[in-house]
Amino acid sequence: MVRAIAEAVNAANGFRPLGRQGYKTLAVFSFGWPTSEVPMLYLGGSVVDAARRGLRGDFRGRRGVAALALTAASWLFLLAIQRRNVTTPRPVLRAALVEGLGEDFADVLETLPSTPSPSGRPTGFFPVASLAPAWRTTWSRRRFVDKTSTISYGPHGRANLADVWRRRDLPREGKAPVLLEVPGGAWAIGWRRPQAYPLMSHLADRGWICVAMNYRVSPAHTWPDHIVDVKRALAWIKENIADYGGDPDFVAITGGSAGGHLAALAALTPNDPEYQPGFTDADTSVVAAVPVYGRYDWYTTHGNGRREFIGYLERLVVKRQFSRFRDIYTAASPIRRLRGDAPPFFVLHGEHDSVIPVDEARDFVGEFRTVSEAPVLYAELPGAQHAFDIFSSPRAHQSAEAVGQFLSWVYAKRMNKGEHA
Residues annotated as part of the active site: 257, 353, 386
Strand partners, 363: none
Query: Which of 276, 287, 282, 279 has its CA nearest to residue 249?
Result: 287
Cα(342)–Cα(240) distance, integer angstroms: 24
Whether 353 and 386 have beta carbons less than 8 Å apart is answered as yes
**What is the maximum span of the chain, computed from C-alpha positions, in angstroms?**
76
Residue type, 338: L
Whether 397 and 134 have beta carbons less than 8 Å apart is answered as yes
- Angle at which helix 89-101 crosses helix 394-416, to 10 degrees, equals 20
Helices (H), 373-393: none
DSSP, collapsed to helix, strand or coil, labels residue 161 as strand
DSSP, collapsed to helix, strand or coil, labels residue 348 as strand
Whether 295 and 227 have beta carbons less than 8 Å apart is answered as no
Residue type, 244: Y
CA distances from 11 to 16, 131, 285, 386 (A): 9, 28, 43, 16
Residues in the chain: 421
Cα(379)–Cα(66) distance, integer angstroms: 40
Query: Which of 307, 309, 277 has its CA nearest to residue 294?
Result: 309
First-last CA distance in the chain: 66
Specify the DSSP class assigned to residue 387.
Answer: T
Computed from CA positions of residues 150, 261, 257, 156, in that sequence, does the dihedral angle turn out positive or negative? positive
CA distances from 87 to 80, 93, 126, 280, 382 (A): 11, 11, 26, 47, 10
